[in-house]
């Protein structure tokens, strides 16, 4: 691990300023991903700004009937919050499908959105990786790619987005609230928050350097039946091979997908179709699988069918 | 020295007042309270230890062209950087490290950085600049089917295999593959080296103490008498810790050079490529039977690979003993590879050999329209099929294991037609497998001391790698000397104590307790003589020695100084006269998600025949662990080779998946009553590996029964099952 300096921020804006003033600074909250990456020197921040003491741990209703979840609300607290469980059950279920109890107790709402890919070559500093070191090439292409993405990828990177929580947030049309070093704020629709890789897979989201997540807001509840179906090689503590988040009923039909793309994947146009085959075909349009992860295409279709069946049961 | 060369008659262990009782592990309280020191935790013995971090090769084959250590040497806290340019010369026969620019495998040590703190050493280790020339290596077994017939494997060509196979009415001719696997034990490999003058004490994580003293002494060129190895507690080994790696050698060399203790732990990521693994296999099974199900031809060819001089994975071995059949062709072909070195992993041979053989048996049963349990029963044989009735099994209760298990598991409810049972989204099936694991034994010694307060001290270089060695050796001494368990203290894992079997190959429990048995006999004789009793007639019970109506408390026989007996067991040729193995039958119920193909185990039962059970609790725990590992081998464990770099890509515990709690349902273990008087005076057999032998095949047979998909390429992951579901 590279030696680093450390400070504790006493306000969200001060945190943003502290990071903005240092080109190699990073925020640290739960640290469940960042510290692992620092130990491997995949991440090498020279300065850490600790935001864990900030007052961003509340879950509260918004004026328009929605919900604001503070950036530092832990995954455990969010998933077990009575409003989330009752009105945004797909989010609660997605969070509970991820990681382990210990990790969920430390991991935060804002941090979860910023999880980095689990591509094994990204994690290995001795191997070329455009995400870790732009311009070095992609080792995953032509390598071990069984778990990697088939959508939103490019010739530069085929890494998958790892979060379960973010898939449910994409389904729910969440917005990511941020503060800038100058005190300005913005609300980024989650659809625009994560990026497809293109030629810059090192840039994973819409945040600017120093921009700090303060909360995630959810629109008013959708009703319907909420399902989160996570498919994986073992029954717990594994990233999704494929996951499907769904809300069906009360005039709503929405689907978002994890494990298959560079970002939480949702194709709104597909939601107007009926039948899993038609929907899957539209969702998977443009998929570029490798020989090792081609199975994700039928797997996604079949998981979607199972999810619809479960929601309608 | 006690020689065990005739079957054991009645002896004091037959009382079973202490043995065969489910005592808790006597080391348990130390472990759960964090007081049992592991190799990296000897702060008292090495209070000022410096921290070493190993740097490993990032190519699979080639040479180091340049190595620039200047940045690392200037980094804060760095005490030393050792590379092949400045490492002390070591002996080739051993485990030499940093002896040249040649890279023979990925993960080979190329440097050691030692600093005042772990963090400093870790940071500086990243500051080396190493230039490599990469050469083309041989990394893929698929390309190497023309490997040499392994002479070490003891190939069998008996009768007329080709003719019998060709003429049989029912046959299978199938190929199975099993992947490279990693031991993934909990405690990383670690060493703390402390020199006093020319004497080295090495605290390390290892399974056999005298292999350390000979291996390390031989490598670094010091007399074996000058090294003491300590592995008092070991956090799992599974065979990985039978080998000496860079941590032990480099800690020893660096500590000597610095005049200061040095400790090194391999990182989790390094373990996958630097240490040994279970080698990949391709297994060609040809089984043929008459209409009655009796095998007429048994063919099992294993193709495996390893570095030059290595052994690969001899997955055909169990097929020599498991079933009858007059015509036999059993072979192992070994190819040279440049992957990391292969080595023993829990039940080397059987663990993956049975994954193939026991699936092929089910394929044969289906052809014969025969119940899989019955097929195994009709092919039972009570003697070594190669030798004939002159070499009977010492105790073989495979049929009883199968019958008992079938009854207890509810096998009669199994629908022989696949894909018929549904529970919601789950297709549910049952599978069975036979289990067999050889029963090696090896010389082992113990020192037993009766102390003035009447308590007993048992000391041996035996190791306890989480298995229960402390406890069963205490039970043996308590039984032999007639004292309560609470009066026995056990010290293990120190080469300064009498040389012992160590742990590996399922030999530890049987061998080490036999050594303790021998030492206790000697002590009994010494005490009887002190009491004036005939040693053959004296009874030891309730802390006293008695003969006729005379009774003397043991304590009163000890004056001011303790009475000590040292002895060891040596094993004669009973393993030649009698085929010896532990047997089991495994039953599995598995659900397969009808949509996704995800396999999930619902129930497992293992019925085991291991002779006398020394401690039903620790033995059961060994089975539970083996069964869990068997589920891993069937469903998920898979070290992935990237042939471009010649390495195992998934070198962490997130990507190399082993079962988690949610994958493991209630497990059921049954031990058949028995004793094996040809195995040892303890009348026990090995149990540490039996649990993994066959359970994975029961799982995959259950997958087939659940959904009609036979995956012949392990592990049976959802993508492979799904491909079958869609056809």
What pLDDT digit, counting tens, does each position of B308-336 carry? 999 999 999 999 999 999 999 999 999 99
Q: What is the mean pLDDT of residues B141-154?
A: 75
Burial code (b: 16+ CB inside 10 Å, e: under 16) for A67-93 equals bbbbbbbbbbbbbebeebbebbbbbbb
At A1, is the pLDDT very low, low, confident or very high (cuts 50, 70, 90)?
confident
Chain B stretch 631-660, residues whose beta carbon is closer than 8 A to a beta carbon of chain A: 635-636, 640, 642, 644-645, 649-652, 654-655, 657, 659-660
The answer to whether residue A280 sits within a structural domain is no
Distance CA A194, CA A207 (A): 9
Pairing type for strands A212-218 and A175-179 reads antiparallel
Distance CA B436, CA B190 (A): 33
The answer to whether residue A296 sits within a structural domain is no
Dihedral sign from CA coordinates of B257, B258, B260, B265: negative
| Cβ pair B723:A295 closer than 8 A | yes
Which structure tokens are listed for B629? 């590992």
Distance CA B725, CA B708 (A): 8
Residue B684 backbone phi and psi in degrees, to 5:
-110, 170
Which structure tokens are listed for B638? 């898979």
| Cβ pair B644:A142 closer than 8 A | yes
pLDDT at B548 over 90: no
Strand partners, B448: B458, B565
Distance CA B605, CA B619 (A): 15
| Cβ pair B126:A3 closer than 8 A | no
Distance CA A131, CA A121 (A): 10
Dihedral sign from CA coordinates of B160, B161, B165, B168: positive
Distance CA B424, CA B721 (A): 18
Mean pLDDT of chain B: 97
- Give the pLDDT confidence of B428-487 residue by residue, as tens digits: 999 999 999 999 999 999 999 999 999 999 999 999 999 999 999 999 999 999 999 999
At B160, is the pLDDT very low, low, confident or very high (cuts 50, 70, 90)?
very high
Domain that holds residue A119: 1-223
Distance CA A45, CA A47 (A): 5
- Give the pLDDT confidence of B83-132 residue by residue, as tens digits: 999 999 999 988 999 999 999 999 999 999 999 999 999 999 999 999 99
Cα B489 to Cα B61, B476, B518, B558: the distances in Å are 50, 12, 17, 17
Our count of domains for chain A comes to 1
Distance CA A38, CA A10 (A): 24
| ipTM score of complex | 0.97
pLDDT at B518 over 90: yes
Q: What percent of chain A has pLDDT over 90?
A: 99
Answer whether B225 touches A (CB < 8 Å): no
Question: Running DSSP on this structure, what letter comes out for residue B236?
Answer: -
Q: What percent of chain B has pLDDT over 70?
A: 99
Residue B151 pLDDT: 80
The answer to whether residue A213 sits within a structural domain is yes
Q: What is the mean pLDDT of residues B674-697?
A: 97
Which structure tokens are listed for B333? 């072909």
Cβ distance B249 to B278 under 8 Å? no
Given A142, A233, A299, which is nearest B636 (Cβ)? A233
Give the H/E segment covering residue B367.
helix B350-368
CB atoms within 10 A of CB A263: 25
Closest-CA distance of chain A to residue B152, Å: 34
The answer to whether residue A218 sits within a structural domain is yes
* 3-class secondary-structure state, position B214: helix
Answer whether B727 touches A (CB < 8 Å): no
Distance CA B653, CA B640 (A): 13
Output the CA torsion A232→A234→A239→A242 (10° steps).
0
Phi-psi region of B293 (alpha: psi -120 to 50; beta: other; left: phi over 0): left
CB atoms within 10 A of CB B621: 18
- Give the pLDDT confidence of B172-189 residue by residue, as tens digits: 999 999 999 999 999 999
Question: Running DSSP on this structure, what letter comes out for residue A215?
Answer: E
Which residue in B719, B722, B726, B727 has the most chain A C-beta atoms within 10 A of its own C-beta, making it the best mutation to test that interface?
B719
The answer to whether residue A7 sits within a structural domain is yes
Which structure tokens are listed for B501? 């079997």
pLDDT at B153 over 90: no
At B146, is the pLDDT very low, low, confident or very high (cuts 50, 70, 90)?
low
Which structure tokens are listed for B621? 């725990």
Question: Running DSSP on this structure, what letter comes out for residue B336?
Answer: E
For A146, nearest residue in chain B (alpha carbons): B719
The answer to whether residue A283 sits within a structural domain is no
Q: What percent of chain B has pLDDT over 90?
A: 96
CATH code, A115 = 3.30.465.10
First to last CA, chain B: 65
Is the pTM value of this prediction over 0.95? yes
Distance CA A188, CA B175 (A): 55
Q: Is B689 a catalytic residue?
A: yes
| Cβ pair B718:A231 closer than 8 A | yes
Distance CA B216, CA B208 (A): 12
For B55, nearest residue in chain A (alpha carbons): A126
Domains and CATH numbers, chain B: 2-36+441-573 (3.30.365.10), 39-136+189-265 (3.30.365.10), 281-439+580-725 (3.30.365.10)
Phi-psi region of A115 (alpha: psi -120 to 50; beta: other; left: phi over 0): beta
The answer to whether residue A281 sits within a structural domain is no
Burial code (b: 16+ CB inside 10 Å, e: under 16) for B208-230 equals bbebbbbbbbbbbebeeeebbbb
Residue B327 pLDDT: 98
Distance CA B424, CA B428 (A): 10
B309: Cβ contacts below 8 Å, ≥ 6 apart: none
Residue B144 pLDDT: 59
Question: Running DSSP on this structure, what letter comes out for residue B439?
Answer: -
Cβ distance A38 to A45 under 8 Å? yes
Cβ distance A147 to A160 under 8 Å? yes
Helices assigned H by DSSP within B591-707: 616-635, 695-707
The answer to whether residue A196 sits within a structural domain is yes
Which structure tokens are listed for A15? 């945190």
Instruction: Return the residue matching tokens 């190895």.
Output: B229
Closest-CA distance of chain B to residue A139, Å: 9
Report chain A's C-alpha Rg in angstroms.
19
Q: Is the peptide bond before B715 cis (omega within 30 degrees of 0)?
A: yes
Given B636, B644, B722, which is nearest A298 (Cβ)? B722
Q: Which of B238, B679, B676, B687 is nearest to B441 (CA)?
A: B679
Q: Which of B519, B505, B432, B448 is nearest to B685 (CA)?
A: B505
Q: What is the mean pLDDT of residues B530-551?
A: 93
Residue B344 pLDDT: 98
- Give contacts of B122 with chain A, Cβ < 8 Å: 1, 39
- Give the pLDDT confidence of B197-219 residue by residue, as tens digits: 999 999 999 999 999 999 999 99
- Give the pLDDT confidence of B7-30 residue by residue, as tens digits: 999 999 999 999 999 999 999 999
- Give contacts of B595 with chain A, Cβ < 8 Å: 302-303, 305-306
Cα B698 to Cα B437, B438, B507: the distances in Å are 16, 20, 25
Which structure tokens are listed for B609? 């025949």
Size of interface A-B (CB pairs under 8 A): 89
pLDDT at A77 over 60: yes
Residue A52 pLDDT: 97
Degrees, nearest 5: CA angle B146-B711-A294: 95
Cα A258 to Cα A39, A170, A174, A245: the distances in Å are 27, 10, 16, 8
Distance CA B145, CA B151 (A): 16
Residue B143 pLDDT: 57
Distance CA A202, CA A199 (A): 9
């Amino acid at each position: 691990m590279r030696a680093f300096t450390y400070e504790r921020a006493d306000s969200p804006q001060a945190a943003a300023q502290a990071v903005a003033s240092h080109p190699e600074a990073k925020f640290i909250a739960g640290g469940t991903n960042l510290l692992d990456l620092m130990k491997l020197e995949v991440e090498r921040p020279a300065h850490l700004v600790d935001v864990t003491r900030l007052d961003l741990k509340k879950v509260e209703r918004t004026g328009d009937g929605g919900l604001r979840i503070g950036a530092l609300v832990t995954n455990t607290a969010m998933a077990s919050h009575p409003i989330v469980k009752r009105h945004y059950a797909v989010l609660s279920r997605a969070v509970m499908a991820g990681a382990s109890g210990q990790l969920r107790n430390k991991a935060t709402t804002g941090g979860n959105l910023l999880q980095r890919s689990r591509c094994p070559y990204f994690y290995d500093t001795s191997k070329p990786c455009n995400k870790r070191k732009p311009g070095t090439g992609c080792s995953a292409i032509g390598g071990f790619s069984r778990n990697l993405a088939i959508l939103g990828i490019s010739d530069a990177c085929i890494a998958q987005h790892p979060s379960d929580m973010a898939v449910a947030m994409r389904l729910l049309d969440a917005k990511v609230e941020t503060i800038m070093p100058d005190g300005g704020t913005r609300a980024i629709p989650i659809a625009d928050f994560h990026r497809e890789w293109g030629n810059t897979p090192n840039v994973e989201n819409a945040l600017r350097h120093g921009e700090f997540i303060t909360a995630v807001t959810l629109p008013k509840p959708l009703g319907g039946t909420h399902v989160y179906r996570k498919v994986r090689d073992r029954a717990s503590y594994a990233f999704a091979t494929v996951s499907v988040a769904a809300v069906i009923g009360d005039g709503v039909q929405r689907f978002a997908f994890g494990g298959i793309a560079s970002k939480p994947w949702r194709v709104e146009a597909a939601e107007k179709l009926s039948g899993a085959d038609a929907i899957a075909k539209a969702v998977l349009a443009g998929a570029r699988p490798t020989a090792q992860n081609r199975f994700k295409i039928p797997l996604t279709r079949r998981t979607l069918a199972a999810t619809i069946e479960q929601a309608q049961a | 020295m006690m020689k065990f060369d005739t079957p054991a008659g009645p002896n004091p262990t037959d009382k079973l007042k202490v043995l065969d009782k489910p005592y808790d592990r006597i080391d348990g309280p130390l472990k759960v309270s964090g007081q049992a020191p592991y190799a990296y935790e000897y702060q008292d013995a090495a209070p000022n230890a410096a921290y070493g971090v190993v740097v490993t090769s990032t190519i699979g084959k080639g040479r180091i062209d340049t190595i620039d250590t200047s940045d690392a040497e200037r980094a804060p806290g760095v005490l030393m950087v050792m590379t092949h340019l400045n490492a002390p010369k070591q002996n080739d026969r051993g485990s030499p490290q940093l002896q040249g620019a040649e890279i023979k495998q990925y993960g080979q040590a190329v440097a050691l950085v030692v600093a005042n703190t772990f963090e400093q050493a870790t940071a500086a280790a990243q500051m080396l600049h190493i230039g490599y020339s990469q050469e083309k290596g041989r990394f893929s077994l698929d390309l190497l089917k023309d490997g040499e017939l392994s002479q070490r494997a003891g190939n069998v060509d008996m009768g007329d295999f080709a003719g019998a196979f060709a003429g049989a009415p029912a046959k299978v001719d199938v190929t199975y593959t099993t992947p490279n696997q990693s031991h993934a034990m909990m405690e990383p490999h670690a060493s703390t080296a402390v020199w006093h003058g020319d004497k080295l004490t090495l605290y390390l994580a290892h399974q056999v103490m005298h292999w350390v003293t000979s291996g390390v002494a031989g490598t670094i060129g010091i007399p074996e008498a000058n090294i003491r190895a300590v592995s008092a507690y070991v956090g799992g080994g599974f065979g990985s810790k039978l080998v000496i790696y860079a941590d032990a050698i480099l800690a020893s060399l660096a500590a000597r050079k610095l005049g200061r203790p040095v400790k090194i732990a391999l990182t989790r990521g390094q373990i996958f490529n630097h240490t040994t693994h279970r080698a990949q296999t391709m297994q060609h099974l040809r089984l043929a039977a008459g209409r009655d199900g009796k095998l007429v031809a048994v063919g099992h060819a294993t193709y495996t690979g390893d570095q030059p001089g290595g052994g690969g994975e001899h997955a055909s071995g169990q097929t020599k003993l498991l079933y009858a059949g007059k015509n036999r062709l059993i072979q192992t072909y070994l190819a040279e590879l440049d992957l990391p070195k292969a080595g023993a992993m829990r039940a080397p041979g059987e663990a993956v050999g049975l994954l193939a053989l026991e699936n092929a048996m089910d394929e044969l049963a289906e052809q014969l329209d025969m119940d899989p349990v019955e097929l195994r029963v009709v092919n039972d044989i009570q003697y070594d099929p190669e030798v004939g009735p002159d070499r009977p099994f010492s105790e073989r209760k495979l049929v009883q294991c199968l019958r008992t298990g079938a009854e207890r598991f509810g096998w009669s409810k199994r629908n022989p037609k696949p894909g018929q049972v549904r529970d919601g989204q789950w297709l549910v099936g049952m599978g069975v497998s036979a289990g067999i694991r050889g029963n090696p034994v090896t010389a082992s010694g113990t020192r037993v001391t009766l102390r003035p307060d009447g308590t007993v001290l048992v000391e041996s270089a035996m190791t306890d790698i989480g298995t229960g060695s402390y406890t069963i050796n205490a039970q043996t001494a308590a039984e032999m000397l007639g004292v309560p368990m609470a009066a026995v203290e056990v010290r293990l894992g120190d080469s300064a104590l009498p040389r012992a079997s160590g742990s590996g190959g399922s030999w530890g429990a049987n061998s080490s307790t036999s050594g303790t048995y021998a030492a206790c006999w000697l002590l009994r004789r010494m005490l009887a003589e002190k009491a004036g009793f005939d040693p053959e007639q004296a009874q030891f019970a309730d802390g006293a020695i008695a003969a006729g109506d005379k009774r003397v408390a043991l304590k009163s026989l000890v004056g001011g100084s303790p009475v000590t007996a040292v002895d060891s067991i040596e094993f004669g040729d009973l393993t030649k006269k009698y085929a010896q193995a532990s047997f089991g039958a495994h039953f599995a119920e598995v659900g397969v998600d009808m949509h996704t193909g995800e396999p999930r185990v619902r129930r497992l039962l293992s019925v085991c025949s291991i002779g006398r059970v020394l401690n039903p609790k620790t033995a059961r725990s060994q089975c539970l662990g083996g069964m869990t590992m068997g589920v891993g081998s069937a469903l998920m464990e898979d070290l992935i080779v990237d042939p471009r770099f010649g390495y195992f890509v998934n070198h962490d515990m997130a990507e190399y998946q082993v079962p988690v709690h949610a994958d493991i349902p209630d497990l059921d273990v049954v031990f058949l009553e028995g004793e094996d008087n040809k195995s040892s005076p303890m009348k026990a057999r090995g149990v540490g590996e039996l649990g993994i032998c066959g359970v994975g095949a029961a799982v995959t047979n259950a997958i087939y029964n659940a959904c009609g998909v036979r995956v012949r390429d392990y592990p049976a992951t959802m993508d492979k099952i799904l491909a079958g579901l869609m056809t």
